[in-house]
Amino acid sequence: MKQTKVTKTNYSLFAKQTANGIYETFKTSALGLSTEQVAEAKETFGENKIPYKKSTPFFVEALKAFITPFTLVLIGLGIISFITEGILPESGEKDFFGSGIILVMVFVSGTMTLVQSVRSNKAAEKLKSLVKVTATVRRDNQYKEIPMEEIVCGDVVKLSAGDMIPADIRLISAKDLFISQSALTGESYPVEKSADKLNGKKESETSYDNLVFMGSNVISGSAEGVVVAVGGNTLFGDVAKSLSDTPVQTSFELGIRKTSFLFIKFMALMAPTVIVINGFTKGDWMEAFLFGLSVAVGLTPEMLPMIVTTNLVKGATGMAKNGTIIKNLNAIQNFGAIDVLCTDKTGTLTQDKIILEYHLDCEGEEDHRVLKHAYLNSYYQTGLKNLIDVAIIESTEQELDTSNIRYKKVDEIPFDFQRRRMSVVVEDHYGKTQMITKGAIEEMLEISSFVDFKGEVTELTNEVRQQVLRKVQELNEDGLRVIGVAQKTNPSVVGEFSIADESEMVLIGYLAFLDPPKETTKQALKALKANGVGVKVLTGDNALVTKSVCKQVGLGAEAIVHGEELIHLTDEELMTIAEKYNIFVKLNPQQKQKITSLLRENGHTVGFLGDGINDAPAMKAADVGISVDTAVDIAKESADVILLEKDLMILEQGILSGRETFGNIMKYIKATASSNFGNMFSVLVASSFLPFLPMLPLQILFLNLIYDISCISIPWDRMDKEYLEKPKKWTASSIGKFMIWLGPTSSVFDITTYLLMYFIICPAVVGGDYHSLSASQQAAFIAIFHAGWFVESLWSQTLVLHALRTPQIPFIQSRGSFIMTVITTLGIVIGTLLPFTRFGKNLGLGILPNQYWLWLVVTIFAYLLLVTLVKKMYIQRYQELL
């Protein structure tokens, strides 16, 4: 019989049920679901997707694309044009051409924005699909790795250290399972979970000992459990429903918003001014009103959303080809703006392949007994087997006959980043129990009261302690990482082991590991430095090993800061140290997070590269969290950017791609803002002395349309090498300065064109000055004037894109891409031929005489020369162009 979908999860019921009761409720077993049962469970209990993450419906995307502040102005102008030219006039004088052109502009702007928005969403989903957070489930009596979204109620899930909890799960079995629930409860410390306790009603759902919840992650230990809630029915999903759907805005989104408001402010100022001036000077207030609205449109970059989206999509797909997956498209700008990269040492600066070089007793001699004890610790612990554990197990299997090492695991005390050690308790076939502990050498010396010298246990005196430390220091100076191994026979009562048992232990020896630097690390760090990115190493490793590695990769023998030195510092003191020093050792996860946060507060754009559980808090605190495809689930979930290879060279290429994407966006915004502002400033001047409108509303709109279509090529342009050398931040104020400096340069030549057309060319063609002509001759005079300014304005506005795209001399020292050159040239050709066509005549443009073209070439050459000079002055003043 078909069940109804669960709407409210009864955690109290599940916590009290036995394992068999849970199996019966969800029609499953310890062997997992069958393929047929999976489909039925999905239909009954729903999918494992959080409701707030649903994609935006197409009609909503369409509305957002067509209803923007910019298109609303166009629609308003179109309605007024439709009424004044298509409805109010007599039947023989009705003209729908103007409103038709405006409709085309709205359609082109909205459709292009919609197409790019859909492409953006598809590209983002495609990129995200390359990085899967997975879970291990048992289906058809086989363990399988599947995406979290495919989990269903009744699935038997296997959990181990580093895993994200994929759904709400009732534990069936657990061993030393510690869970971080900070995302749900805010608790900073992990909590232990157990499958054995059947709980009654608790004060909160997260307090149940035998339930774990989506949104939390496994710190250590292992477990198996049955999924009891998925998607919106989970505790995390319930919390998500109550949250605002509006995410925190990135600096990129804030920049776009501020820029849009900047344009709107200019519109609000310029449009009324133009209306008033033309109303008083020309006497036709309706025409002045239409003209003022068209000026407002001329000031706005209608294609801004489309150009921005195209840049982001192109940037993200290009970066993906180079091994960098952008999970959040809006993170691209921050990625390119990174000026401080914080990174762990292991696997980032080093090869991520640790080799066990030595297993030594306390006198520094090779000892297989030390290796055997280390093997027991690594083999039987159920936490995340890190590279050290793997190296120990592999080395033991090569040197010893592991089939004769027969022990039974009794208990364990998982690793945590405060103690920096972990312990297992094992029992041999005689019934003797041993606690074996391994960890950082300083921490191991703290819990050891005795030392084993050649089988004889003696007190660990200060003299012996110093002897051990001297030997460890020698190994550290050679770049070897050292951990200690200690043991205690018949420790506590079985089942009651705790951290308190890690005391009065016998230090039996130490292990030395080699983690050599990557071949590309030195080159990558040099490249990052050349590109304005400072690198700070934030590691939990000790000073000597870190110093050795850093020296090999070219970071030099810089001063090193220890985590213990930071414990009692104020935020102000820590901020000063975070700025001053670049190498930090013996840090716990909270200290990594704190340093990252303080660097951000101090004005830096911070990236954090990590792959472990201990890196996740710092990645969330950074402007850009960066991880790798092989990272633990919680690290991948926290990241904005995923590297398909853990290589700083890949990261450096990604940062440069981010800067290029941002540069192309700024290129469009600044060039368009300045040229549009210049054009409208020219309109104000012309309106003051011309007896007619300097350009008809439709002509302004069509000019804007040709220019904006030409701008579609900008995402395919390249940035100068020099631009990519420094991080760039979004500052809306710089756009205003750019407009004021570069905008009036075009006005100078617009005004010379007015004078040329009004006093020389038009009178020469028509046969007299404007006021001495008949009405038909005046109409011809105006049409030629409009055509002259239309063509000059299009040439100057389009060619200035090439001038302002680079601080260098355009076309000579720096050239646009082939695509940009071809499309902008086509735009100029179309606009130049327009006055000679019937369509141009309908727009009110007259045929230009031959002498005009010589003046045009001189004007454009002088304009580009002036732009280049003003551009140099601007760069000297503000130390940047884009």
**What are the pLDDT digits (tens) for 89-130?**
777 667 776 677 777 767 776 776 677 667 656 655 665 555
In whole angstroms, how large is the CA radius of gyration of the chain? 35
Collapsing DSSP to helix, strand or coil, 231 comes out as: helix
Highest mean pLDDT among 85-99, 324-338, 629-643 belongs to: 324-338
Distance of alpha carbon 352 from the chain centroid: 24
pLDDT value of residue 309: 75
Distance of alpha carbon 263 from the chain centroid: 27
The pLDDT-based confidence of 646 (bands split at 50, 70, 90) is low
453 DSSP β-pair partners:
456
Q: Which helix (H) or strand (E) holds 505?
A: strand 505-514
What number is the average pLDDT over the span 11-19?
Answer: 87
Is the separation of the CB atoms in 76 and 293 below 8 Å?
yes
Q: Is the pLDDT of residue 4 over 60?
A: no
Task: State the amino acid at position 578 in one-letter form.
Answer: A
- pLDDT tens-place string over residues 858-873: 999 999 999 999 999 9
Q: Is the pLDDT of residue 402 over 50?
A: yes
Domain identity same for 169 and 236:
yes
Q: Is the pLDDT of residue 527 over 70?
A: yes
pLDDT value of residue 127: 52
What number is the average pLDDT over the span 592-619?
Answer: 84
**Which of 277-291, 418-432, 612-626 has the least mean pLDDT?**
277-291
pLDDT value of residue 152: 92
Tell whether 47 is covered by a domain.
Answer: no
pLDDT value of residue 3: 38
Is the separation of the CB atoms in 396 and 508 below 8 Å?
no
What number is the average pLDDT over the span 644-661?
Answer: 80
Q: How many domains does the chain have?
A: 4
343 DSSP β-pair partners:
537, 609
- pLDDT tens-place string over residues 804-861: 888 888 888 888 899 999 999 999 999 999 999 988 888 889 999 999 999 999 999 9
What number is the average pLDDT over the span 546-574?
Answer: 82
Q: Which helix (H) or strand (E) holds 656?
A: helix 648-689
707 φ, ψ (degrees, to nearest 5): -65, -45
For the domain that residue 781 is a member of, what is the CATH number? 1.20.1110.10
Q: Which helix (H) or strand (E) holds 526?
A: helix 521-530
Q: Which of 601, 625, 644 is the last residue of a domain?
A: 644
Domain identity same for 738 and 750:
yes
Domain identity same for 283 and 212:
no
The pLDDT-based confidence of 215 (bands split at 50, 70, 90) is confident
pLDDT value of residue 630: 66
- pLDDT tens-place string over residues 697-716: 778 778 877 888 888 888 88
157 DSSP β-pair partners:
137, 225
Domain identity same for 370 and 391:
yes
H-type helices in 82-229, by residue range? 97-129, 182-185
What number is the average pLDDT over the span 645-656?
Answer: 78
Domain identity same for 224 and 76:
no
Domain identity same for 203 and 278:
no
- Catalytic positions are 344
The pLDDT-based confidence of 5 (bands split at 50, 70, 90) is very low
pLDDT value of residue 539: 84
For the domain that residue 190 is a member of, what is the CATH number? 2.70.150.10
Distance of alpha carbon 51 from the chain centroid: 22
Domain identity same for 490 and 346:
no
- pLDDT tens-place string over residues 32-71: 888 889 989 888 888 888 765 456 677 777 777 777 666 7
- pLDDT tens-place string over residues 737-781: 888 888 888 888 888 998 999 999 999 999 888 888 888 899 999
Query: What's the CA angle centered on 511, arms 506 and 517, to 5 degrees?
Result: 150
The pLDDT-based confidence of 331 (bands split at 50, 70, 90) is confident
Tell whether 130 is covered by a domain.
Answer: no
Q: Which of 206, 222, 242 is the last residue of a domain?
A: 242
Highest mean pLDDT among 313-322, 379-388, 802-811 belongs to: 802-811
Q: What is the C-alpha to C-alpha distance for residues 98 and 95, in angstroms, rounded to an integer?
A: 7
Task: Write out the E strands in 582-659.
Answer: 583-585, 606-609, 624-628, 641-643
Q: Is the pLDDT of residue 85 over 60?
A: yes
- Residue 242 contacts by C-beta under 8 Å, 6 or more apart in sequence? none
Tell whether 371 is covered by a domain.
Answer: yes
The pLDDT-based confidence of 693 (bands split at 50, 70, 90) is confident
- Residue 388 contacts by C-beta under 8 Å, 6 or more apart in sequence? 354, 378, 483, 513
Of 337 and 267, the structure prediction assigns the larger pLDDT to 337
Task: State the amino acid at position 212 in one-letter form.
Answer: V
Question: Residue 360: which domain range?
Answer: 355-514
Is the separation of the CB atoms in 871 and 742 below 8 Å?
yes
* Nearest residue to 786 via CA among 863, 842, 867: 842
Distance of alpha carbon 528 from the chain centroid: 18
Is the separation of the CB atoms in 533 and 340 below 8 Å?
yes
Q: Which of 242, 265, 299 is the last residue of a domain?
A: 242
Percent of the chain at pLDDT exceeding 90: 15
pLDDT value of residue 762: 92
Task: State the amino acid at position 278 in one-letter form.
Answer: N
- pLDDT tens-place string over residues 529-548: 888 888 898 887 777 778 77
Domain identity same for 695 and 802:
yes
The pLDDT-based confidence of 248 (bands split at 50, 70, 90) is very low
Q: Is the pLDDT of residue 250 over 60?
A: no
Tell whether 134 is covered by a domain.
Answer: no
pLDDT value of residue 243: 43
- Burial of residue 644 (CB within 10 Å: 0-12, 13-18, 19+) is middle
- pLDDT tens-place string over residues 353-381: 788 888 988 888 888 889 999 999 988 88
**Which of 140-144, 301-305, 650-654 has the least mean pLDDT?**
301-305
Domain identity same for 387 and 311:
no
Instruction: Give 76's DSSP letter.
Output: H
pLDDT value of residue 625: 86
pLDDT value of residue 859: 93
For the domain that residue 441 is a member of, what is the CATH number? 3.40.1110.10
Q: Is the pLDDT of residue 276 over 80?
A: yes
The pLDDT-based confidence of 569 (bands split at 50, 70, 90) is confident
pLDDT value of residue 251: 61
Domain identity same for 507 and 528:
no
pLDDT value of residue 820: 92
Tell whether 369 is covered by a domain.
Answer: yes
Tell whether 661 is covered by a domain.
Answer: yes
pLDDT value of residue 363: 83
For the domain that residue 556 is a member of, what is the CATH number? 3.40.50.1000
Of 329 and 674, the structure prediction assigns the larger pLDDT to 674
pLDDT value of residue 761: 93
Structure tokens of 413?
Answer: 């005390």
Tell whether 143 is covered by a domain.
Answer: no
From the DSSP assignment, how many helices (H) and strands (E) are in the chain? 30, 23
Q: Is the pLDDT of residue 302 over 60?
A: yes
Instruction: Tell me the average pLDDT of the chain.
Output: 81
Domain identity same for 29 and 169:
yes
Domain identity same for 462 and 554:
no
